[in-house]
Amino acid sequence: MTILYQNKQYIRDNITKKRDDERSNDEFRKITIETGVIGRAEGSARVKIGDTEIIAGIKMDIGKPFPDSPAEGVIMVNSEFSALASPDFENGPPREDSIELSRVVDRGIRESKTLDVEKLCVEEGEKVWMVFIDITIVNHDGNLIDAAGIGAITALLTAQIPKIDKDGTINRDGKFEGALPIRDIPVPITSGLINNTIVTDMNKNETECAEAIFTVATIKNENYCAMQKAGPSEMTDEQMLKISEIAQKESKKIRSAIEAAVKKHKA
């Protein structure tokens, strides 16, 4: 549901003074990460950022590799915007923003080379592991990209490769070969411009007021692995640099939270 013009104007006029929830402009809402929330999935996670909530699940299957990468496993990201998550969402074909969310999450994982896809090859040119990352939006109060990205990597870190029986079928009875070959932990951080002010982790109302939105994903060594710009307004080099610096700072905290959740899961 789109917010009223008067409310938008209030947010724009007051963003330099304070946010509705009293956060500073570079401050995240409370983040909680829960693992193992889908019993039949190879890996799963629930992530909450404030009132935004997503669930990410990993399913794996054996399939044929792409012709141009015969010795590499396949990664596919899909996101579902449930009508129960927001009045703005309707059941039906995938929405444009659902497709875009999947692309941004996929890019962060793929460009960081987080998953060692060569180790997912079973028989070159014939059989590889296909890793399906399914993201469901449970409640939408802004910053879906960061929540989905955090959920996806957490689910991957907890996922186990199913055992293949002697007859070539996948064992779905809880027998596993081991963990996925994960090499890094990409974390997306999204900020926007509201009345030319940089605001991080925008809630839904703030997002509707943003003139531009910029997502920066970083890996453990603080290098950037993916970027995404949205919105009609341009950003200056100085603004993009500032947002990138915020991403480096905030991703460290979130990465530590991910690692703590995964460690607890494996204990």
**Domain map (residue ranges) of the chain:** 5-266
pLDDT of 1-33, one tens digit each? 556 556 788 888 878 777 888 899 999 999 999
Q: Does the pLDDT at position 87 exceed 80?
A: no
Mean pLDDT of the chain: 92
How far is 267 from 257, CA to CA, in rounded Å?
Answer: 15
SS3 190: strand
251: which 2 tokens?
């991703």
Residue count of the chain, please give it: 267
State which fold the 5-266 domain adopts. Ribosomal Protein S5; domain 2 (3.30.230)
| pLDDT number for residue 155 | 99
Q: Does the pLDDT at position 93 exceed 90?
A: no
Q: How confident is the model at residue 89 (pLDDT cuts 50, 70, 90)?
A: low
DSSP class of 43: E
Q: Does the pLDDT at position 167 exceed 70?
A: yes
Q: Does the pLDDT at position 39 exceed 80?
A: yes
pTM of the entire predicted model: 0.93
Q: Above pLDDT 90, what percent of the chain?
A: 77
Which helix (H) or strand (E) segment is 246 a member of?
helix 237-266
| pLDDT number for residue 20 | 82
| pLDDT number for residue 161 | 94
SS3 251: helix
pLDDT of 215-256, one tens digit each? 999 999 999 999 999 999 999 999 999 999 999 999 999 999
Helices (H), 4-143: 5-14, 96-111
| pLDDT number for residue 3 | 61
Q: Above pLDDT 70, what percent of the chain?
A: 93
**CA 127, 94, 194, 26: dihedral to nearest 10 degrees?**
-40
When mean pLDDT is compared across 31-45, 57-71, 81-95, 104-118, the lowest value belongs to 81-95
Averaged pLDDT, 28-51:
97
